[in-house]
Amino acid sequence: MLKKKVAFYTMGCKLNYAETSTIARKFSNLYYQHVPFKSYADIYVINSCSVTRNAEIELKHIVRTVKNSKAFVVAIGCYAQLNPQEVSSIIGVDLVLGYEEKFKIIDYINREWFLKKKYYAKITSKKTYFPSFSVGDRTRSFLKIQDGCDYKCSYCIIPMSRGVSRSDSIENILKNIRFLFKKGVKEIVLTGINIGDYGKNVYGENRQLYTFFDLIQAIDQIQEKGRIRLSSIEPNLLKNECIEFLSKSKHFVPHFHIPLQSGSNDILVKMHRRYKLELYKEKIKKIRDLMPDAYIGSDIIVGFPGETHKHFLETYHFLKKLEISSLHIFTYSTRPNTKSSTIQENVSKKIQWKRNQILRVLSSKKYRFFCQKQIYTKKTVLFEKNHHNKEYLYGYTENYIRTKIYSYNSSIYENTLQDVLITKIDKDGIMIAEPIK
């Protein structure tokens, strides 16, 4: 029997990667041959994003890159959930599946394959929960612990595409972690839309109420060896008891990503964020006091409607004094049906761009300063596979510093945790290290 070739492409967040991997495993190796997306395939599955308008535009570009013009192209993900009619109008897309439908993808493909016409499934509710994790050729796995969001940030469209906050059971999360560690995965990233809100609407038979603190305590008792990393967590949900526990953990690494979005309390109110700068500053200080070498990343949105030069300067000076390691900077993008889309005080694209560039420079300086403080310290690096016979082998330290060593005997180090001594930093901001024998 000739196997159909299937290829996958993921846009957006770590949660999308976890779900793409779970969906890919539905395509049994008995009937399908999994190939890279840039290869010639019979079926292409694209997991879309809708966080920004650029992400939606990118979907059209990705569809145009498929090698086989006669292939069956399936669009899934947040953009597909939010606007299936618009996605189905993209030339080359044959099938559009929403949040629940994408997990029944095989049924839809088998049914629609021979119709040879545009089709999008009727989009149903977003209240069910589908456990997901990524596994394969990556050295780390993304494990979904939570989905949806009950927050109503004025700029964010995600609650409309992902629905209310809901969680996997602790039992299922622990089972999946043990499975992944036994399978050889060395690092697991806990991911979701709002992981600090873990415990609401728990999936499965045991519907006991949990908290995020309950979850991390349970995870840390696992006997299998491996690292656990947190994805983004809201500052108001990162409780001091969690920070204190994580600072002494045997599994969790000293790495935090805590979105700020603006360094102006006035703009935070307009964004409908649930904290003020004072709380954010307190959380950073708490982490630094307990974990001086922890990596702390943050998200910032520039050019939010009504953001004046004064507001931007407040943001810049707040960030400059803050002991964080780097910034992810996003230029504000109007999303339909969000509250911020009704605010008339738009910031020009030129000013948005300038503010974006200023903060990028600040982020680069902060990251380099953070890295320089790590020189001549001992770290543990999870090394990745050397796919292209490169001179260096790359990986990340426990505190999320990109690090490289000369790739002699690289097969010994691939997908292993190795103690190294950080010796210097190169022009690209990558740390150079030597293995500790």
Q: Say what the alpha-carbon torsion angle 410, 381, 147, 62 is, to the nearest 10 degrees.
A: -40
**Per-residue exposure over 148-162, b if at least 16 CB sit within 10 Å of its own CB, e if not:** bbebebbbbbbbbbb
Which residues of the chain register pLDDT less than 50? Answer: 114
pLDDT value at position 245? 98
pLDDT value at position 276? 98
For every residue of 220-244, DSSP letters joined together read TT--S--EEEE----GGGS-HHHHH
Give the whole-angstrom CA distance, residue 146 versus residue 151.
Answer: 14
pTM of the model: 0.93
Token representation of residue 62: 């990705």
Residue 261 Ramachandran class (φ > 0 left, ψ -120 to 50 alpha, else beta):
left
pLDDT value at position 293? 97
Domains, the chain, in order of start with CATH, read: 4-120 (3.40.50.2300), 125-251 (3.30.750.210), 254-373 (3.30.750.200), 378-435 (2.40.50)
Of 206, 137, 189, 240, which Cα lies nearest the Cα of 18?
Answer: 189
Of 204, 199, 287, 229, which Cα lies nearest the Cα of 14?
Answer: 229
pLDDT value at position 248? 97
Give the whole-angstrom CA distance, residue 59 versus residue 80.
Answer: 10
Give the whole-angstrom CA distance, residue 230 versus residue 26.
Answer: 27
pLDDT value at position 279? 98
